[in-house]
Amino acid sequence: MMNRFRAAACVLLVAVSPPLLALAQRGGDRPAPRAAAPPPAPRAAAPAPAPRAAAPVNPGGFNLQRDIAPRAAAPAPAPRAAAPRATAPVARSGAPGRGGGTVAYGHPSFTANTVGGPARDRFKGPVIRNARASGGNYGWNHGVAWQPAPIYWGGGFWGSFAIASLGGYGAYGDYEDAQDQLEYPSYEVSPDTPGAQLLADYNLQQTPCGPPNLVVIWGPDNSVICANPNDQVGPGDYEVDPETFTLISASPSP
């Protein structure tokens, strides 16, 4: 009889030990502070700003308490005398990426009215064929539709320029619209982006916007870049057709 009980106890021990071992391997629910090598940070190490008020103790989950805490009321901005600066997509209501709290994020269309700057209604001229782009819609992007991401200048077409910190990038010239008294700042196109690929397809070399007789290319959300004309693309205003990855020229002003 005792042997039976011993055998049963052994079986129970065997039954209980694997889950306990597995639990020990999987670890607890709490985060392990300062463990293991972290994956690379997106940029240089974070700056060390002045310490803020202590964040509340993390009650579980991810510690994003600082990011979800209500924002302190900001002082009213001083009035600026400078000409209005069209850092797209500021023109849209409720520009994302600014301020705290709940933000309504629109999903801008590549061909919405925020494209094309002052020439937006005139892109009815000839299409300059892209000889290097793959066939089919969005063939240049493996057939996957490309949609702009709202918190980036040009939706991220020319690079991942965060609208919230555009001032830190340094403008690459300005397109000035004398009629509307607006300036459209331009930025240097990042490598490995759709914009860089487009320029390469047309053998275009980017140059700062401002001087006359340049190739002016309008991307999503009133983003604009300029390039020196070449034997494929003459000076003038152009809009990008994202599906075919071609340039559509603006018809002459009336």
Partner 1 sequence: MSGSGIKAVLALVVAAVVWAAVPARAEGVTRIQQADGKTEVYRHVTIRVRGQTLVLSSSDRKGVLEVTSDACTYLAGLKRCLPYRTVYYDRGTAHTVVLEHGTVYTNVTDGPVQLPHSADRLGPHEVLVLLHTMRGTYLSVTGSVDQIK
Q: How many residues bind partner 1 (CB under 8 A)?
A: 76
Positive or negative torsion for Cα 213, 219, 223, 227: negative
Cβ-based nearer residue to partner 1, 165 or 253: 165
Select from 115, 119, 151, 233 the one that contacts partner 1 (CB under 8 A): 151
User: How many whole angstroms separate alpha carbon 156 and alpha carbon 13?
Assistant: 58
Does 79 engage in binding with partner 1 (CB under 8 A)? no
Binders of partner 1 among residues 34 to 53 (CB under 8 A) are 34-36, 38-43, 46-49, 51-52
* Contact code string over 165-204 relative to partner 1, x by CB under 8 A: x--------------------------xxx----------
Does 231 engage in binding with partner 1 (CB under 8 A)? no
Contacts 24+ apart (CB under 8 A), 95-104: 95/163, 96/150, 96/151, 96/163, 97/150, 97/151, 97/162, 97/163, 97/164, 98/163, 98/164, 99/71, 99/74, 100/70, 100/71, 101/70, 101/71
* Chain-centre distance for alpha carbon 7: 64
Does 57 engage in binding with partner 1 (CB under 8 A)? no
* Contact code string over 88-127 relative to partner 1, x by CB under 8 A: --------xxxxxxxx-x-x--------------------
